[in-house]
Structure 1
Amino acid sequence: MAVKQYKIDRVAEIESRIAENAGVFVVNYKGLTVKQAQDLRKQLREVGAEMKVYKNNLARIALQNQEQPNLDELLVGPIAYVFYENEPVEAAKVLKDFSAKTRNVLEVKGGISEGKAVTADDVKAIAELPTKDQLLGQLAGLINGFARDLAVCVNGVSSGLARSIQQVSDQKAA
């Protein structure tokens, strides 16, 4: 039995998404309204992520072809795939917040991050992490604070030395 060309094309599309993105989260979207799905897709686009729906068997083949971890236990039922370009934190935050807003209609099942399979709990933990920009801001604040403290310390030593010299000079003059 010959494989239909559209299935081959779809597997190739999934493989290219896997190769082009840093990772993928698997979500169960059963129960979402069309409006909610559109809203979720919009929020994900704003953070550099994209939600796509593929047949689970085709996604399974694409994951195997790309030598990704086995997600067979997650690929059951109505599944959507959230591909993120760079870091997983912002996409995970959107999914977590959206799930809470819809009273858990959207269920995060797990996914792949940095080439390793992650569970739903892992995705929730990722959502709690600060973003890269937040970490850079915190680091800049620490460096700035350290530099300020060092300047105060160095200034204190030199002004203390100057006061000591002035006192010795005043004593000798008296």
Structure 2
Amino acid sequence: MPSNRILEQKKQVVSDLTEKIKSAQSIVLADYRGLTVEQDTELRTALRKAGVEYKVVKNKLTSLAMKESGLELDEFLTGPTAMAISSADAVAPAKVLSEFSKKFDKLELKVGVVEGKVIDLDGIKALAELPSREVLIAKVLGGFNAPISGFVNVLNGNMRGLVVALNAISEQKANA
């Protein structure tokens, strides 16, 4: 039977993890078994640069936190499980982990959660193929800008036509 101190520590871990899960845009679970220390360090560095928190928590504690968050992922919580959590960018964990799973065969993706909805391996790969948030914002802004640019060109064309017509009339009156 664990001591009260250890029990309190575990309760705190579950509570902290529950808060992170509830506030997460996306979560990806992966089996990291077989990665070398250098590979794991490289993976952690890439995730940190992308603003993704990467942690390994005991499966039982992760299961409790998931259940408190309204998720049922016990079937995926077998063997060593690492969790990549992002509260800012829904695409970042899937993108980085998919890239590294191609680079390192030992890293196996298990399941993902995007805005509270569970996605399978195909969903993670599809999410990883999406462009980054900045690229999507740029495309949307470009889409907004295109009609405005076209409208300005139409207005300029009408003004040019008016100026040409006025010049023609003034030349006609000057010749007459």
Query: What TM-score does the superposition give when structure 2 sets the normalisation length?
Result: 0.86
Q: How many residues align?
A: 172
**Residue number in structure 2 paired with 1:52:** 55
* Cα distance change on mapping 1:61 and 1:100 into 2, 3 Å: same
| Residues 71 and 111 in structure 1, CA contact (< 8 A), matched pair in contact too | no
List runs of 5+ in structure 1 lacking aligned partners: none
* Cα distance change on mapping 1:30 and 1:2 into 2, 3 Å: closer
Seq. identity, % = 36
| Amino acid paired to 2:172 | Q
List runs of 5+ in structure 2 lacking aligned partners: none
**Residue number in structure 1 paired with 2:69:** 66
Match of 1:87 among 82, 86, 89: 89
| Amino acid paired to 1:75 | L
Once residues 30 and 91 of structure 2 are traced to their aligned partners in structure 1, the CA distance between those partners, rounded to angstroms, is 16
Once residues 56 and 150 of structure 1 are traced to their aligned partners in structure 2, the CA distance between those partners, rounded to angstroms, is 58
Once residues 112 and 166 of structure 2 are traced to their aligned partners in structure 1, the CA distance between those partners, rounded to angstroms, is 68
Once residues 166 and 22 of structure 1 are traced to their aligned partners in structure 2, the CA distance between those partners, rounded to angstroms, is 61
| Residues 23 and 88 in structure 1, CA contact (< 8 A), matched pair in contact too | yes
Superposed counterparts of 1:86-165, under 5 Å: 86-102=88-104, 104-165=105-166
| Amino acid paired to 1:120 | L
| Amino acid paired to 1:60 | S
Displacement of 1:101 after TM fit? Answer: 1.5
Render the CA deviation track for 1:117-145: whole Å, top value 9, x for unaligned: 11111111111112221112122323333
Query: What TM-score does the superposition give when structure 1 sets the normalisation length?
Result: 0.87
